[in-house]
Structures are given as structure tokens and as C-alpha cells.
């Protein structure tokens, strides 16, 4: 079972710029939203202070300052919450359970359930290379070839030690054959169809 080591101290340091700590800790979408709000608030404050000459200048400065403080405070409170040992342990247990159940569902032939569970695992930690690989396999078997390729490439990207390189290589080679058989304007070709066409 793969567990990515994440430093709470580094997450807190990165959170000096609201949103960056969230991105580092796997909350990419939330982190980008927080950073965008932070940047907009900062821009509005500086614009109202130095550039804007209209009658709404004071309102722009005050509202931007309030938003700035709210975003910064909310970001810190949330990063303290999600990096607490209790929260991290609970998320790891949940992720392991989703991965185990997703793998079991795949082995039982329930690709829909397997995909749902493995996606939940990847949402919890976008850098979980085992979950990414297994989700790629499920997507490939389900005919979602583009998503499968994305998952496999992300597995390689976040696997600097190359533990999954051999398995990913085999899957990508089979995926390339499947994609080569895609009919123009048609639906994706599944692995089973590829094997049937190669007989």
C-alpha cells in the first residue's frame, strides 16, 4: 500500500501564501480556489489604494481587505485541520479501505463500483500512485481509454522510484493498440474488443 509522506510543517510554511499548502497536501482544486480569492483580494486592495480614483475607492479597499483577511484566516484554520494527525490517520484509513474495496470490486467484475471507489481514493490523494494505476486499469477495461492514459501517465509522473514502471508500460502498450483501433467518430474500443480483433 502506497502512502505519500507529507510534511505538516512544509504545508504550514507554504500556507503563508493561502492555497499553496492545500495544493501540496492534495487538495488541488480547493487550493487553487483559495489562492485565486487571495490574489483577487490583494489586487482589489492595491488597485483601490493606488490606482482607482472613483467614488467607490474606499469601498473597494475595505471590501478587499475584509476578503483578504477572511481568505487568509480560513486557509490557515483549514490547513491546520486537514494536517492534524487525527485527520491524516482517518483519511489514510478511508483511502486504504476504498482502495481495497475498489480492487475487490474489479476482481469481481464490477467495473462501475470499482471506478467509483478508486476515484474517491484519488480525490483524497491525487498523488496515490497505486490508486492511480488501478483506476487506469479499470478505465481501460471500461473503454474510457483517454482517462486511462491520463491515469497511467500520472502514475509515472508521481512514481520517481519507478516501482510501477513495468506494469504501466504493459498497460500503455495495450492501450496504444486499443486506441489505434478507434473507429472514426465511433465509441472507444475496449480491451476485450481489441483481443477479439487480434485473433
Which residue ranges make up each domain of the chain?
A: 8-83, 93-181
Q: What pLDDT shows up at residue 18? A: 95
Angstrom distance (rounded) from CA 166 to CA 158: 14
Question: And the C-alpha cell for 134?
Answer: 488501478
52 — pLDDT class (breaks 50, 70, 90): confident
Q: What average pLDDT does this structure show over 165-183?
A: 84
Inform me whether the pLDDT recorded for 2 exceeds 80. Answer: no
Distance CA 44, CA 59 (A): 10
pLDDT mean over 168-188: 72
Higher pLDDT pick, 48 / 185 = 48
CB neighbours of residue 52 within 10 Å: 16
Identify the H or E element spanning 96. helix 85-107
Whole-number Å distance between alpha carbons of 25 and 128: 12
For domain 93-181, the CATH superfamily is: Tetratricopeptide repeat domain (1.25.40.10)
Cβ contacts of residue 36 below 8 Å, gap of 6+? 19
Q: Which segment of 35-44, 81-90, 110-119, 179-188 scores lowest on mean pLDDT?
A: 179-188
The predicted model gives 18-29 an average pLDDT of 89
* Confidence grade of residue 182 (pLDDT, cut at 50, 70, 90): low
CA distances from residue 199 to 178, 182, 192 in whole angstroms, order as listed: 14, 17, 11
Q: In terms of pLDDT, which residue wins out, 197 or 108?
A: 108
Task: Please tell me the predicted confidence (pLDDT) of residue 3.
Answer: 53
Mean pLDDT of the residues in the chain: 85
57 CB-near residues (< 8 Å, 6+ apart) = 48
pLDDT of residue 158: 85
- Helix, strand, coil percentages for the chain (3-state, nearest 5): 75, 0, 25
Q: For residues 64 and 146, give the distance between their C-alpha atoms in angstroms, rounded to a whole number.
A: 42
Answer with the residue of higher pLDDT: 16 or 160: 16
pLDDT higher than threshold 80 for residue 197: no
Percent of the chain with pLDDT over 70: 88
Amino acid at each position: 500500500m502506497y502512502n505519500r509522506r507529507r510534511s505538516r510543517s512544509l504545508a504550514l510554511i507554504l500556507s503563508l501564501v493561502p492555497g499553496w499548502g492545500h495544493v501540496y497536501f492534495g487538495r488541488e482544486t480547493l487550493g487553487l480556489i483559495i489562492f485565486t480569492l487571495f490574489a483577487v483580494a490583494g489586487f482589489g486592495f492595491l488597485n483601490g489604494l493606488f490606482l482607482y480614483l472613483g467614488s467607490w475607492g474606499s469601498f473597494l479597499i475595505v471590501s478587499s481587505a475584509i476578503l483578504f483577511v477572511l481568505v487568509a484566516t480560513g486557509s490557515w484554520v483549514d490547513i491546520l485541520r486537514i494536517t492534524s494527525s487525527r485527520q491524516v490517520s482517518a483519511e489514510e484509513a478511508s483511502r486504504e479501505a476504498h482502495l481495497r474495496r475498489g480492487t475487490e470490486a474489479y476482481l469481481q467484475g464490477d467495473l462501475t463500483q470499482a471506478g467509483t471507489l478508486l476515484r474517491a481514493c484519488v480525490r483524497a490523494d491525487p498523488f496515490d500512485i497505486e490508486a492511480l494505476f488501478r483506476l487506469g486499469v479499470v478505465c481501460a477495461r471500461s473503454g474510457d481509454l483517454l482517462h486511462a492514459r491520463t491515469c497511467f501517465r500520472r502514475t509515472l509522473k508521481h512514481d520517481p522510484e519507478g516501482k510501477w514502471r513495468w506494469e504501466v508500460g504493459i498497460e500503455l502498450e495495450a492501450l496504444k493498440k486499443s486506441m489505434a483501433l478507434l473507429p472514426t467518430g465511433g465509441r472507444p474500443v475496449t480491451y476485450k474488443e481489441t483481443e477479439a480483433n487480434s485473433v
